[in-house]
Amino acid sequence: MTVTRPARLTGAAVCAALALIAAVWILEDLAALGSPADLAWSWTGDPGSQYFLRGRVATSLADPLLLVVSVATAVAALRSRHAASALVATGAVTLALRLPGLWAPGSGALVTALLDLALAVGLVATAAAGRRRADGPHEQLPTRPRTGPAVTAGVLLLIGAVGVVLWEADTAVQLPPEITVDRFLGGRSLMGPALAPPPGWVAVILVALYGTAAASAFARARHTRAFGLLAGAFLTTTGLALLARVLRFELIEHFAEARTIEQMYVLTAVFGVLGGLTVLALLAGRGVPVAAPAPYGSYGPPPAPPYPPPPGW
């Protein structure tokens, strides 16, 4: 399946609009703070930074990540006829991350959620409406990933999904039930940025994204690259955010003396960065070339004429 040129141009324009919305909010936060370092620390989820910057920052780690993903998808739509899976993956993730903004307090978050949700739905619809079958047997199809890299990437993503589930289970055990519900659906107990989705909600999205990408990798589906690269980007980015907090509290330097929970934070951060980069490297390479169809189909070449030819041949 390929994507028509009008659909590709429309998808690129929608992605550019999504990137523009995220960029406007990021620039507004940067103008309010005047310090890129403070804004970056707030994106890492550092409790100290979020406490002092509470009410002054609207964006979270999801916003710069959606900005980068939208730009990358726009470029892919302009360059490749096989960008349908990339458009669908970007639209689905944007839809999931912006949905909690519909019931979040603040008019800015609501307007942004409505705009992004409309654009995300339009992106998925554009990819679906613009798909067409190959014109002939000689038209190139999206390649499947090679078995070794695909299985390795799938295992790494599956480990990442299990890690998210375990961390959320540990958090749910330690917190009161009403706060646990707020972590998934939003509520007054959460004091994060205005555009930030609830952390439990993000965890569900990550598990679904990692699981979907892992299943695609194990099946060596043609859309593995789009979902796998997106999942690898999320795994790397969340790992970098956690690694920044780990380095700030000097947990790596005192790893042997740290508590077990702190050591697990260090291991999770290191795995997120290394595992995510590995997934990106494995799935960014070329897939298995599509074999050219046989010139005579499945019946083979025509039989040679008899020799010597019979009378009247």
Cβ atoms within 10 Å of 165's Cβ, excluding its own: 16
User: Which pLDDT score is estimated for 295?
Assistant: 53
| Number of domains comprising the chain | 2
The answer on pLDDT for 151 being more than 60 is yes
Q: Is 303 inside a domain boundary?
A: no
Question: Which token pair is 12?
Answer: 């690129």
Q: Please, what is the average pLDDT of the chain? A: 89
What's the mean pLDDT in 47-54?
A: 70
The encoded tokens of residue 259 equal 């508590």
Q: Specify the pTM.
A: 0.89
Mark whether 108 and 26 lie in a shared domain: yes
CB-CB neighbours of 296 under 10 Å: 9
Confidence of residue 54 (pLDDT cuts 50, 70, 90): confident
- pLDDT score of 299 more than 80: no
Confidence of residue 275 (pLDDT cuts 50, 70, 90): very high
pLDDT of 307 above 70 = no
Q: Where are the alpha helices (DSSP H) in 175-223?
A: 177-185, 199-219
Asked if residue 75 belongs to a domain, the reply is yes
Could you tell me if residue 153 is inside a domain? yes
- Residue 75 and residue 192 in one domain: no
pLDDT recorded at residue 132: 74
Pair 153, 284 in one domain: yes
Which domain-ending residue is among 105, 131, 157? Answer: 131
Q: Can you tell me the mean pLDDT for 40-46?
A: 90
In the predicted structure, residue 291 carries a pLDDT above the cut 60: no
Per-residue pLDDT band for 90 (boundaries 50, 70, 90) equals: very high
**CA-CA distance, 180 to 62, in Å (whole number)?**
21
Residues 6+ apart with CB under 8 A from 213: 153, 154, 157, 224, 227, 228, 230, 231, 232
Residue 10 and residue 76 in one domain: yes
Domain boundaries, position 109: 1-131
Reported as a pLDDT band with limits 50, 70 and 90, residue 255 is very high
For residues 112 and 234, membership in a common domain is answered with no
What is the pLDDT at residue 139? 53
